[in-house]
């Protein structure tokens, strides 16, 4: 007989389906004899037709019906009608605990009374020898009056098709026997370790489940999360919950409930109830109770001796510590996007998920990965997004894209525009739904509501000053920020949002983050440090402790790291030292190695005859030298330009010399012979602001270069190498124009500009700038001319693009097409330094390929580093 609404089962009139699970369907029904509402659980057909199992179930059901407790849903009886077997149970009104938790975690004052009632229910059932075996939020109902009713007591065992102990079939959370009738799926999160291992279970399994449910109720997170049941089981057997998320009043209790060894776990639900009652007892009542104890004088003396002994022993007592855990976090099939002037990653405040800006299948988006899972999912609507940061509750993600500040729910939903941000450099979301961000480089910070509206200026900048990397302090009244008076040096400051006054905290640091542990974390030349910091007095400790080295840092000092409030650290490693190989790639994407040896190569430049390469070898972010590679002879020689930090080598048209940048310690352009036989000569005066050599005119008489300006960003300049050698600005605007590339005939200059909110490729006549043509259509970097002058190449994310160019009788350009795509290094600086070049035939490209050809982004994850900081602290 089919049980469904409208059917009558004996004296029970079925009214509506109210639930469905692995142990059967549940209907609301009317007992026509007693005129009362009841719940009907239709038993699986496999049980109803198996006489042996049904008889055993009847024996178990009689035991379950003996449970009579106000917090246990009553079983009225087991009935049969026309071939159908069903349980008649108390109908409990209200919502399940699972439905309540879908709205978020519960405050202590709401949660503890409910869990005290659940513990009472377990205490009563265990006293009758009944173990629940499947305690979970969906099996707990909360009535409109606030009373708990635990459902399905003992049905996991009663409905099982094999009662032999020591098998996983005892657990309804079992995934291995998922094909068997009566097995409930999807409850592995509350399974005890002994259940997971298929061992015998007893009351302590329910204690574990109660602890897991309580943890979830108080934190809003599962104690042992995972993407699949297998992942959850692995976490239960090996991992520990994030105890720092649990309120201190209940942390010890939950630790005792969730001990993996059942012999170390709380044995009795009464113990759980007592501890919950003590946690809910007002402190004054506790004091009053203790004050009436008739302390004898000898007891007081013993207590005093105990305190004295403890004071002597305490300084040498070592508190238990957790080891620092360093692991890798993969973003499968996600390759790094070309580096921008901002962070590419963010971790949620609770440390449960990471967002990364990257490329998958040629599309640039933000990708989210739960730390408990293995997959990274693209966030819809975040195309071209970068600079992500979370809201304080982790439910929203803000980011920049297309010259705007936007937000989107982390669980999915439409993207919303908050404000304009034409050339941003980072943002932070405060507790009062206020966002502070730098909407344009070299401008001050702005403040805007997270719900949108007009932004208002918060700070001002001095000429040449940049203010990236803002981060809120607790309370939302002050913000950590970086002040960079030029393009290199930086200091960490705190700015008061009410008075706009600033105070310097750390010289030479950047990307600061305050943690609730009382630490200020910041980067200094690729090393992360933690120093004690009091947000009330705004005083930082005197000595910092290093917590991670080799952190990737952009040339503008944006550090690729983030820290959750529980201390979980995630960062990108310094890619400058990554082993790479130079390869030749044709227009179809066919790859052939050029250099057999893998080294940290960068910025390859072919000589005019195509036989030699000038390139960089990185020794770290701030250490690189120029080398010469002879392709036919497979010979690599260092050029002896001992001029400090060198960069951006470009060939003179005659192939006899190279122009390059050096920092000594100020920035200066030099020209040196390609054979290294003579000293390099300076071409420009020393400057506090960075500059990069871009191109030569065909006659070798003029050099085009990009230079940073504090008021306009990067601009394009020319330098005539005859006469006074006086630099002249060629293109100055309030955006970043850089990476100039002259056409072979010297009549047109291609360059990149971010005036649209993202980098695009433009071409203008040279030397007299006049008309201008936008070449790229969906973003572009690293322009390069073919030797024929009739084709321009550039990069669009991981794709090599081609545009046909005609200059006579008038300028015209074709629609860009994709030549090939792949995992090749791109410029990780904000300048136009190309990471590729084109052979004279225009058919082959020299590319830089990473040793890691998997294409997956790999982040570093560090947990429990706070204990290492405490151990290394000079005050310890």
Active site residues: 134
Contacts of 799 (CB under 8 A, 6+ apart): 362, 818, 819, 820, 821
* Among 338, 464, 401, 426, CA closest to 829: 338
Whole-number Cα distances in Å, 300 to 295, 308, 393, 523, 592: 7, 12, 48, 53, 85
Contacts of 534 (CB under 8 A, 6+ apart): 518
Q: How far apart are CA 609 and CA 360, in angstroms?
A: 37
Cis? peptide before 615, omega within 30° of 0: no
3-state secondary structure of 47: helix
**Stretch (H or E) spanning 364:** strand 363-370
Strand ranges for 733-863 from DSSP E:
737-742, 748-753, 760-765, 773-774, 781-785, 791-796, 799-806, 812-813, 817-821, 836-838, 844-850, 857-863
Neighbours of 556 (CB within 10 A): 23
Confirm if 39 and 18 have CB atoms less than 8 A apart. yes
DSSP 295: -
Confirm if 324 and 864 have CB atoms less than 8 A apart. yes
3-state secondary structure of 384: coil
Confirm if 626 and 639 have CB atoms less than 8 A apart. yes
DSSP 106: P
Confirm if 23 and 10 have CB atoms less than 8 A apart. no
First to last CA, the chain: 74
- What are the tokens at 487? 């393009």
3-state secondary structure of 677: coil
Confirm if 727 and 718 have CB atoms less than 8 A apart. yes
Q: How far apart are CA 190 and CA 188, in angstroms?
A: 5
Tokens 């082993």 found at? 579
Q: How far apart are CA 552 and CA 543, in angstroms?
A: 23
3-state secondary structure of 606: strand
DSSP 537: T
**Stretch (H or E) spanning 111:** helix 108-127
């Amino acid at each position: 007989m089919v049980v469904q609404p409208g059917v009558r089962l004996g004296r029970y009139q079925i009214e509506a389906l109210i639930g469905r699970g692995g142990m059967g369907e549940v209907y609301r029904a009317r007992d026509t004899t007693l005129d009362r509402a009841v719940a009907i659980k239709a038993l699986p057909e496999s049980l109803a037709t198996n006489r042996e199992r049904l008889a055993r179930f009847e024996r178990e059901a009689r035991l379950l019906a003996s449970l009579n407790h106000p917090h246990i849903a009553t079983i009225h009886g087991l009935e049969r009608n026309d071939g159908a077997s069903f349980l008649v149970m108390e109908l409990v009104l209200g919502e399940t605990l699972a439905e309540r938790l879908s709205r978020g975690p519960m405050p202590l004052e709401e949660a503890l009374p409910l869990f005290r009632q659940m513990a009472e229910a377990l205490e009563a059932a265990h006293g009758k020898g009944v173990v629940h075996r499947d305690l979970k939020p969906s099996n707990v109902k909360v009535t409109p009056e606030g009373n708990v009713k635990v459902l399905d007591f003992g049905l996991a065992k009663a409905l099982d098709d094999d009662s032999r102990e020591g098998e996983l079939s005892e657990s309804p959370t079992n995934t291995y026997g998922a094909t068997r009738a009566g097995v409930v799926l999807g409850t592995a999160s509350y399974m005890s370790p002994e259940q997971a291992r298929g061992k015998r279970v007893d009351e302590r399994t329910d204690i574990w489940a109660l602890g897991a449910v309580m943890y979830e109720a108080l934190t809003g997170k599962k104690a042992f999360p995972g993407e699949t049941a297998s992942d959850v089981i692995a976490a239960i057997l090996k991992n520990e919950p994030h105890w720092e998320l649990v309120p201190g009043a209940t942390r010890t209790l939950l630790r005792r409930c969730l001990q993996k060894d059942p012999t170390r776990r709380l044995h009795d639900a009464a113990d759980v109830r007592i501890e919950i009652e003590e946690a809910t007892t007002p402190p004054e009542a506790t004091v009053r109770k203790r004050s009436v104890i008739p302390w004898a004088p000898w007891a007081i003396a013993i207590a005093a001796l105990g305190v004295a002994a403890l004071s002597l022993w305490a300084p040498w007592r070592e508190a238990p510590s957790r080891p620092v855990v360093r692991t890798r976090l993969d973003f499968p099939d996600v390759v790094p996007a070309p580096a921008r002037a901002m962070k590419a990653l963010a971790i949620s405040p609770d440390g449960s998920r990471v967002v990364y800006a990257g490329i998958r299948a040629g599309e640039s988006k933000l990708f989210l990965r739960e730390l408990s899972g293995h997959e990274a999912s693209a966030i819809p609507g975040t195309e071209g997004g970068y600079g992500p940061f979370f809201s304080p509750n982790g439910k929203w993600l803000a980011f920049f894209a297309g010259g705007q500040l936007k937000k989107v729910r982390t669980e999915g939903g439409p993207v919303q525009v908050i404000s304009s941000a034409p050339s941003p450099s980072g943002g932070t979301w405060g507790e009062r739904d206020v966002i502070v961000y730098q909407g344009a480089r070299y401008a001050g910070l702005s403040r805007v509501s997270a719900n949108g509206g007009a932004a208002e200026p918060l700070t001002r900048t001095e000429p040449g000053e940049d203010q990236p990397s803002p981060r809120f302090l607790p309370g939302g009244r002050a913000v950590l920020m970086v002040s960079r008076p030029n393009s290199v040096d930086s200091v960490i400051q705190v700015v008061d949002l009410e008075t706009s006054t600033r105070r310097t905290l750390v010289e030479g640091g950047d990307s600061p983050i305050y943690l609730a542990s009382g630490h200020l974390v910041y980067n200094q030349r690729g090393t992360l440090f933690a120093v004690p910091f009091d947000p009330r007095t705004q005083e930082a400790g005197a000595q910092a402790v290093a917590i991670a080295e080799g952190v990737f840092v952009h040339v503008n000092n944006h550090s690729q790291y983030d820290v959750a409030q529980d201390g979980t650290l995630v960062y990108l490693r310094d890619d400058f030292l990554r082993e790479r190989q130079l390869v030749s790639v044709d227009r179809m994407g066919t790859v052939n190695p050029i250099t057999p040896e893998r080294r940290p190569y960068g910025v390859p430049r072919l000589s005019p005859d195509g036989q030699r390469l000038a390139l960089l070898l990185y020794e770290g972010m701030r250490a690189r030298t120029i080398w010469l590679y002879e392709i036919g002879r497979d010979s690599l020689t260092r050029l002896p330009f001992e001029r400090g930090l060198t960069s951006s080598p470009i060939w003179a048209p005659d192939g006899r010399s190279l122009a390059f940048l050096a920092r000594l310690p100020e920035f200066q352009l030099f020209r040196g012979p390609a054979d290294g036989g003579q000293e390099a000569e300076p071409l420009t005066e020393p400057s506090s602001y960075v500059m990069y050599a871009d191109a030569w005119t065909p006659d070798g008489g003029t050099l085009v270069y990009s230079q940073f300006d504090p008021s306009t960003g990067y601009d394009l300049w020319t330098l005539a190498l005859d006469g006074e050698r006086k630099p002249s600005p060629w293109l100055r605007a309030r955006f970043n124009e850089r990476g100039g590339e002259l056409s072979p005939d010297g009549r047109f200059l291609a360059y990149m500009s971010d005036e649209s909110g993202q980098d695009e490729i433009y071409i203008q006549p040279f030397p007299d700038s006049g008309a201008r043509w936008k070449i790229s259509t969906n973003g572009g970097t690293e322009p390069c001319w073919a030797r024929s002058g009739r084709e321009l190449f550039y990069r669009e994310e991981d794709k090599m693009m081609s545009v046909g160019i005609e200059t006579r009788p008038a300028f015209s350009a074709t629609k860009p097409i994709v030549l090939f795509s792949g995992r090749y290094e791109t410029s990780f600086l904000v300048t136009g330094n190309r990471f590729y070049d084109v052979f004279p035939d225009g058919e082959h490209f020299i590319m830089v390929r990473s040793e890691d050809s998997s294409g997956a982004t790999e982040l570093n994850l560090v947990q429990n580093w706070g204990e290492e900081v405490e151990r290394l602290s000079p005050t310890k």
